[in-house]
Amino acid sequence: MIPASFDYIAPKSLAEALRALADHGEDAQILAGGHSLLPLMKLRLANPTLLIDVSKIAGLTEVRQQGDKIIIGALATHYQIESSELLKKSCPLLGQTARVIGDVQVRNRGTIGGSLVHADPAADWPAAILALGGQLKISGAKDERWLDVEKFFLGPMTTAIAASEILTEIRLPAAARRSGCAYLKMPQQASGFAIVGVAVSLRVDVKGRCEDIGIGVTGLSDRPFRAHRVEARLRGNKLTAKLIEASAALVSDGVDPLEDLHAGADYRAHLARVYTGRAIQAAAKRAAK
């Protein structure tokens, strides 16, 4: 299908883009890589009267380390993150996640910020950012705010960002000593989206006990979430195979699993338990090296 007619601007600065959003409100949409928005427009599920192309704004593609934090510009592409030498060393979970997103064309054009704001329940990035305990910088015309990622996803395709705001940066902790991470998913074969995906970031002490852990889950529910019950069972304990299996079984507790033509609710819950166990084992193995 062909989208409805719309106007288009490509501001050169963030301030200009924010002014345009403030002037047009919900009639305007931000265009970054376009892989989320344009298909919705073609299906007439999104009908903005103005597209604000932010791809020309300088500074929003930067990937840098600032002390013990990693800063990712919201317009950084999946491939830029996948190929970053800095991130391979300081935040390897991001590269692991990026390389299993879509295909080459998607990874070269799609952006991390666009994916997070789109908030597809089966997207890959939310699981990784949740596991890392990330914070999101949200800019408005008058001020900016930092929001913990757990407060960002409100439901399917729904986030805490207002119509007059733009996600501009993601802030994450740099990898510490004796840390390990993993992102594993069961992909839907046609699209590559996660039927279930699990990201794990953990740190162990010198005796192999889990000092800290973050587990992000996507695809299982109508929104990505952090598996706090599983984390609490593991934190402070040695990561034995038996404990990991018992803890992973808790990942679907209290969750209403999605059910669609790709997977029934019971099967999705089963996949979540299996992939949670595998991701924890993989991360623990890397932390022990």
Same fold flag, 7-53 and 181-287: no
Mean pLDDT on 130-156: 96
Domain layout of the chain by residue ranges: 7-53, 63-173, 181-287
Does residue 54 register a pLDDT over 80?
A: yes
| Distance between CA atoms of residues 167 and 187, nearest Å | 27
Mean pLDDT on 180-186: 98
pLDDT band at 74 (very low <50, low <70, confident <90, very high): very high
Mean pLDDT on 214-223: 97
Mean pLDDT on 69-90: 97
Mean pLDDT on 244-256: 97
To the nearest whole number, what is the mean pLDDT of the chain?
Answer: 94
Task: State residue 26's pLDDT score.
Answer: 85
Does residue 45 register a pLDDT over 90?
A: no
Task: State residue 191's pLDDT score.
Answer: 83
For residue range 1-41, list pLDDT tens digits in order. Answer: 788 898 999 999 999 999 999 998 888 999 888 878 888 88
For residue range 190-204, list pLDDT tens digits in order. Answer: 888 999 999 999 999
In three state form, how does the secondary structure of the chain look? CCCCCCEEECCCCHHHHHHHHHHHHHHEEEECCCCCHHHHHHCCCCCCCEEEECCCCCCCCCEEEECCEEEEECCCEHHHHHHCHHHHHHCHHHHHHHCCCCCHHHHHHCEHHHHHHHCCCCCCHHHHHHHCCCEEEEECCCCEEEEEHHHCEEECCEECCCCCCEEEEEEEECCCCCEEEEEEEEECCCCCCEEEEEEEEEEECCCCEEEEEEEEEECCCCCCEECHHHHHHHCCCECCHHHHHHHHCCCCCCCCCCCCCCCCHHHHHHHHHHHHHHHHHHHHHHHCC
pLDDT band at 134 (very low <50, low <70, confident <90, very high): very high
Could you please state the CATH topology (level 3) that the domain comprising 63-173 is classified under.
3.30.465
7-53 is classed in which CATH architecture?
Answer: 2-Layer Sandwich (3.30)
CA-wise closest residue to 262 among 197, 217, 195 = 195
Residue 84 CA: distances (Å) to CA of 64, 115, 133, 201: 10, 19, 20, 19
Does residue 289 register a pLDDT over 80?
A: no
Task: State residue 246's pLDDT score.
Answer: 98
| Distance between CA atoms of residues 267 and 42, nearest Å | 32
Task: State residue 44's pLDDT score.
Answer: 87
Does residue 251 register a pLDDT over 80?
A: yes
- pTM summary value: 0.95
Does residue 262 register a pLDDT over 80?
A: yes
What percent of the chain has pLDDT above 70? 100
Mean pLDDT on 101-113: 91
Selected residue with higher pLDDT from 45 and 78: 78
Task: State residue 151's pLDDT score.
Answer: 98
Mean pLDDT on 215-237: 98
Q: Which CATH superfamily is domain 181-287 in?
A: CO dehydrogenase flavoprotein, C-terminal domain (3.30.390.50)
What percent of the chain has pLDDT above 90? 82
Tally the C-alpha atoms within 13 A of residue 179's C-alpha that lie toward its C-beta: 19
